[in-house]
């Protein structure tokens, strides 16, 4: 049997994807149902998440959930609703994040904007992962969790609320991977480069700095997400961060070399 055939076991495995209404979360959630995995699509935006489910390869496997994950009672409702809809969630993807606005620099960002960024990315990510781990541990079932972090966990973005939330999330992945490994629950990070999704307005001129010559699409992230999520493909992978950026993070103050005639 080919190693990459059947990366999931739809009879036992189920998924929950936050931020599934748009961009990278939508691409991953749609790819999961495409693999036959029953998947909860969670988002604060009812219109986009309903549309994401409707345009899925197999909408009958998708469950729509609408709520604001900055609120703890909404996270509790999501946990209960997901369990009622698909049973124990074995695969968790945390892609929800408020949009980044260039105007929110260090002297402009409001307390609410700061709070919301950390609440959705970090607080909800931690709480949902921990509470999803409990039933897996009780049932002695393996799990696989994936967090969307950022290159700006390690380099400034002029948006301190965003970079600090992603830096903390990067450490959260490593903490959870270490704690949950003994239970067969793997926790990893996916690190996108400049992806023309909804979260930020991509300047096409950026392509000049990307060795592969173009901005990314959300769909560029989905195959790697599936590979890392899959307990068959990535059984021995935890606490790792996978950069999917077309080489953007290789850029520095040196231009690529002139190669002359080859």
Give the footprint of ligand NAD on this chain (CB under 6 A).
18-19, 21-25, 43-45, 48, 68-70, 95-99, 120, 148, 150, 192, 194-195, 197-200, 218
CB of 208 to ligand NAD, least distance (A): 16
Cβ nearer to ligand NAD, comparing 51 with 88: 51
Terminal C-alpha separation, the chain: 42
CB of 169 to ligand NAD, least distance (A): 8
Cβ nearer to ligand NAD, comparing 48 with 144: 48
Give dist(CA 66, CA 85) in Å, integer.
14
CB of 194 to ligand NAD, least distance (A): 5
Cβ nearer to ligand NAD, comparing 94 with 186: 94
Cβ nearer to ligand NAD, comparing 68 with 219: 68
CB of 21 to ligand NAD, least distance (A): 4
Other residues' Cβ atoms within 10 Å of the Cβ of residue 121: 31
């Amino acid at each position: 049997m080919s190693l990459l055939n059947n990366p999931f076991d739809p009879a036992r495995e189920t998924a929950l994807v936050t931020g599934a209404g748009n961009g990278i979360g939508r691409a991953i959630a749609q790819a999961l149902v495409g693999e036959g995995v029953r998947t909860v699509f969670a988002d604060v935006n009812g219109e986009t998440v309903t549309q994401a489910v409707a345009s899925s390869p197999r909408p009958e496997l998708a469950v729509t959930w609408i709520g604001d994950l900055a609120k703890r009672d909404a996270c509790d409702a999501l946990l209960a609703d997901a369990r009622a809809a698909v049973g124990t969630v074995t695969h968790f993807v945390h892609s929800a994040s408020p949009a980044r606005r260039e105007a929110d620099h260090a002297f402009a960002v409001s307390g609410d904007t700061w709070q919301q960024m950390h609440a959705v990315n970090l607080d909800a990510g931690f709480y949902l992962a921990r509470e999803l781990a409990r039933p897996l541990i009780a049932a002695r079932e393996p799990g696989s969790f994936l967090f969307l972090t950022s290159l700006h966990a390690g380099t400034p973005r002029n948006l301190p609320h965003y970079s600090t939330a992603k830096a903390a999330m990067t450490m959260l992945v490593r903490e959870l991977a270490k704690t949950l490994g003994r239970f067969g629950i793997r926790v990893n990070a996916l690190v996108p480069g400049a992806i023309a999704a909804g979260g930020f307005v991509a300047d096409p001129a950026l392509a000049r700095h990307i060795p592969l010559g173009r901005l990314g699409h959300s769909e560029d992230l989905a195959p790697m997400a599936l590979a890392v999520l899959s307990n068959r493909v990535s059984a021995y992978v935890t606490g790792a961060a996978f950069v999917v950026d077309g080489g953007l993070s290789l850029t520095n103050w040196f231009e690529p070399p002139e190669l002359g005639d080859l």
